Each structure stands twice: as structure tokens, then as C-alpha cells.
Chain A
């Protein structure tokens, strides 16, 4: 650009000129004050939100496990008469169970399966053969059809008087509402974390936008569009939110993994942190991603609201 003659100072361009060409320009808007405190808050909120999300994933996983392996099964024992269970009663019980509505299958467990069950209680080198062991019938229930358990019990005792019901659902069933409560409690904590995040972000941004009013007006007078101004203002907080939320989630993810390994570190981790499978860990990425989207939208809305009030 040659607007006019360089009247003086040409010789002085030396060192300063080189510095200006080499040094990277700073950010157009200054770094917000209180950014460190805000970042620390974000890490804490992300940490709490991640634990809540992890709890929801773990409880959902446990619920599915219980439904598949506990609530959909029961065991019928035909107690031994002497050293062996009466085979006629075993056959009658299996036949009855297989035609009962609500029962998907009924199979007598094999001798090897029985041996595997009692194995831990038998000294090494000794055999479980000859022990008075009941015949175990593994009953899988058809989840889609209701089972009239009292009627089945009565019929079963009529055809197999040595039959005993082993229904784990009654014992474990009491814990089922608890898992639902934990799930929803974690959901509430997650929602409260999200609200706290929005409130903290809004307070932080409003303070900063207010402090930047002078600079924002100058940018507008220089012909910068409102969208770009919103981008300039939102860049640092949004990047900060992504970074801090990722940090908080990363910390929690490490705890989940350590807890899941069951190694010597697992016992040192508070019981609040559940063991989470590695397959579930990617779900935690939704927290920094969601936080970034919320931060971006919040920032745009606040900046546009501020620009609408601006007189420039």
C-alpha cells in the first residue's frame, strides 16, 4: 500500500518490523477473566455428569443381565429319596413343566453340570458321586406369557411330591425397584448437572459479553458481521467447555476402567463409581459433545441478544 510518502522512520523498521512479521497475532478478543475458575467448574460438573451417566449405563446393563439370567429362569429340585431322586417323579415333573403355559423349556441338568455346581465344595481328589444330590430341572420362562406359579406348584407337588421350587425372583425381586430408583436418580443428577452447566455458562458469558461491549461495538463499526462476532466471542468458551468436559469425562472413564479391571487399584476407587465395560465407555463422549453444542447455542443466543440491544 502506498498512500503517501514515508516521511520518517524507514530506518527504524529493522528489529520491530521483523518482530511484527514473525510474532503470531494474539486473539482478536482478550481472554475472558475468570476462565480458570470457570474451567475448574466445568471439569467438576463434567465429572459428576459422567459418573451419573456411567451409573445409568451400569444399572441398565445389570437390569438386562437380571432379566436375562435371573428373572427369566427358575429351578425345580426333585429331592433325593435315600441317595437318588425318584426318576419317575423327575420325568413327571419335566413333562408337566414342558406343557405349562409360560414355560419355554424344562431340562434336567446333566451329571457333569451337577458336579460343576458342587465342585467348589468338594475337596480335591474326592468325588461327589454317592452324595445325596437332588435332580435339578432348569426351567426357562417365556417372557411373553404369564406363568401361574401357585397353580404350577400345586400341580407339581401332586405329580412329584419330592419337588421343591427354587425361585430366585422372590429374593432378588425386592432389589429390582432399587435399580430403577438408582437409574432415575442418576438421570436426575445428569439433568441437574446440565442445568448447572447452562447456568454457569450463561453467567460467565453474560459477564464477559458485558465487559466486551466496547470491543464488540468497534468490531461492528469495522464491518464485522454479527455471526462472526458471535463466533469470536464463543470460540474460547466453547473450546474451553469441550476441553474441560473431555477432561472430566476422561477422569471418570479412567475410574470406570480401573474399577472394571478388578485389579489392585479397583478396591481403592470409591464404591460410587461402578464398573463399566469398555463397550459402554464411548457413550461418555456424548457429554463433551453435548456440552459443546449447548455452549455454542447458548453463546450465539446471548451474543445476538446483546447485539440487538446495541445502539451501534
Chain B
């Protein structure tokens, strides 16, 4: 697949934190539009680092990361901001503007895109209800439970209809019921055209998802298909 066709393309990427052995070595893979991809591996394998390389928070020490066809390592700040607007990000520990309500946090990407509140209010309400947060819209984000925060984070990541969703351990803070729901949501979101890359250590969660597994071990990637 060519660079232009892939949403995300890693070519011989290497990365190591200071004074430690390389965490990632010669990692190469491409994500096609609208596909479901799961990065798996044991704790400390470098799953979160891989996602940080993809969204530009880290720079690779070797190779190149192409996001929407552009090298993330050499892009200017303004361009990186524009590329990030096409991403949906779910962090391992959800980040919010804690003085704002759950509704306003979910609507934040739309508000930052200067859309009118009247135009997006209904969509945000539906998204929050869909994430099981109906009736919790006006709660300050800081007062939500860990599970609720994670669901608000996922709703915020999806509200702008991103081209690529990067989710780092999205099921980590969820209870069983909420976890199952979120797994279903994230594993199906690619059907609506969004490319999904989920880093998770919970291999059982992805059984039967029908996506592609990128297994990280000893700094290298091994690919395999997951049965539907």
C-alpha cells in the first residue's frame, strides 16, 4: 500500500528512552482506511510509546512515522495541530478540562472548531446517551467516576468524526459491564469509516473482533488477523 493510501504508515521505526535499550526496533506497518487494528503485548512492551509516536508526542530515533501521508517527525507545529484535529485520542488516564461539565468536555473539539452550540448540542447529547451517560451531562468532569471519565473520553474522541482513532488501554478503567459496552463500541466504530488503532494488554477483549492484531514483543511487531 502506498503512503498516500494509508492513514498511518510506520517505516523501520526505532525508539528508546535515554540510557535504556531500544524499546522499539524496526517497526513497520500500515493502516488502511476504515480498518480495525489492535496493538497487543505485555506491559512495558512499548504499546503506549508506539501510540505516542503516532500522535507526535514522541519522535522516533530512527525511521519515520507518516500520519495522513506526512512525516510526523519533521512536520511544523501548525501542521501537526491540523493533523491532530483529524485524530480521536483516548488516553490511558483520561484528561479533561475539569472545570467543565461532561457535556462541554465532549463538545470541546466541536467548540474549538468554532461550531455553533445549537448545531452540535443534539449530537453531543445522543453521543453521551450512547456512551451510557444520559443524565450525567452537567456533572463536572472532575466529579465523574473512573469508568464514566473513560466513556466521556471516548465520546470526545469520536465527536469530531476522526479519520483515525488512537486509543491507549481504553478498557483499563472500566468495570465489566461498561467494559463490554466500550469494547463493542470501539470494535465496531471502524464500520463507520474511522480507522481504529487500539493498544491493549487485554487480549481476551479482542477475541472475535475480526480486526488485525499487531503483536509487540521484544521491540518488534508481528502481524496476524483476528477471526471475526
Contact digits for B64-99, partner A, Cβ 8 Å, 1 yes 0 no: 000000000000011001111111010000011101
Mind listing 8 A-B residue pairs with CB under 8 Å? A6-B126, A13-B129, A16-B134, A21-B118, A219-B112, A222-B84, A223-B82, A223-B112
User: In the bound complex, how far is the Cα of B80 from the Cα of A312, in angstroms?
Assistant: 11
Q: How far is the CB of A193 from the nearest CB of chain B, in Å?
A: 34
Q: Does B189 contact A (CB under 8 A)?
A: yes
Q: Does A176 contact B (CB under 8 A)?
A: no
Given contacts A13-B125, A25-B104, A223-B87, contact A1 B161 (CB under 8 A): yes
Residue of A nearest to B137 (CB): A16
Instruction: Provide the residues of chain B in CB contact with A6, threshold 8 Å.
Output: 126, 129-130
Considering only CB atoms and an 8 Å cut-off, how many residues of chain B contact the other chain? 51
Residue of B nearest to A29 (CB): B97
Q: How far is the CB of A214 from the nearest CB of chain B, in Å?
A: 7
Q: Does A220 contact B (CB under 8 A)?
A: yes
Q: 8 closest Cβ contacts across the A-B interface?
A: A9-B134, A223-B85, A9-B129, A223-B84, A12-B134, A1-B123, A30-B99, A21-B121
User: In the bound complex, how far is the Cα of B192 from the Cα of A12, in angstroms?
Assistant: 26
User: In the bound complex, how far is the Cα of B121 from the Cα of A226, in angstroms?
Assistant: 27
User: In the bound complex, how far is the Cα of B89 from the Cα of A7, in angstroms?
Assistant: 23
- By size class, the interface of chain A is 35 or more
Instruction: Provide the residues of chain A in CB contact with B130, threshold 8 Å.
Output: 3-7, 9
A25 and B81 within 8 A (CB): no
A4 and B185 within 8 A (CB): yes
User: In the bound complex, how far is the Cα of B77 from the Cα of A7, in angstroms?
Assistant: 40
Q: Does A120 contact B (CB under 8 A)?
A: no
Q: How far is the CB of B133 from the nearest CB of chain A, in Å?
A: 7
Contact digits for B146-163, partner A, Cβ 8 Å, 1 yes 0 no: 000000000000110100
B189 and A20 within 8 A (CB): no
User: In the bound complex, how far is the Cα of B130 from the Cα of A1, in angstroms?
Assistant: 11
Q: How far is the CB of B90 from the nearest CB of chain A, in Å?
A: 11
A312 and B57 within 8 A (CB): yes
Contact digits for A7-38, partner B, Cβ 8 Å, 1 yes 0 no: 11110110011011100111011100000000
B111 and A20 within 8 A (CB): no
Contact digits for B31-49, partner A, Cβ 8 Å, 1 yes 0 no: 0000000000000000000
Instruction: Provide the residues of chain B in CB contact with A3, threshold 8 Å.
Output: 127, 130, 158, 189, 192
User: In the bound complex, how far is the Cα of B122 from the Cα of A21, in angstroms?
Assistant: 8
Q: How far is the CB of B144 from the nearest CB of chain A, in Å?
A: 15
Residue of B nearest to A1 (CB): B123
> Which residues of A89-133 are within 8 A (CB) of B?
none
User: In the bound complex, how far is the Cα of B138 from the Cα of A16, in angstroms?
Assistant: 7
A20 and B125 within 8 A (CB): yes
Q: How far is the CB of A96 from the nearest CB of chain B, in Å?
A: 80
Given contacts A1-B123, A20-B138, A28-B108, contact A223 B129 (CB under 8 A): no
Instruction: Provide the residues of chain A in CB contact with B109, threshold 8 Å.
Output: 222-223
Q: Does A267 contact B (CB under 8 A)?
A: no
Q: Does B103 contact A (CB under 8 A)?
A: yes
Q: How far is the CB of A23 from the nearest CB of chain B, in Å?
A: 8
User: In the bound complex, how far is the Cα of B82 from the Cα of A214, in angstroms?
Assistant: 20
Q: How far is the CB of B157 from the nearest CB of chain A, in Å?
A: 10
Q: Does B11 contact A (CB under 8 A)?
A: no
B138 and A19 within 8 A (CB): yes
Residue of A nearest to B113 (CB): A223
A9 and B133 within 8 A (CB): yes
Q: Does B23 contact A (CB under 8 A)?
A: no
Given contacts A6-B126, A21-B121, contact A220 B132 (CB under 8 A): no
Q: Does B135 contact A (CB under 8 A)?
A: yes
Contact digits for A217-228, partner B, Cβ 8 Å, 1 yes 0 no: 111111111101
Q: How far is the CB of A11 from the nearest CB of chain B, in Å?
A: 8
8 further A-B pairs in the complex, CB-CB below 8 A; given A7-B181, A13-B126, A20-B125: A1-B126, A1-B161, A10-B134, A12-B135, A16-B137, A28-B97, A219-B112, A223-B87
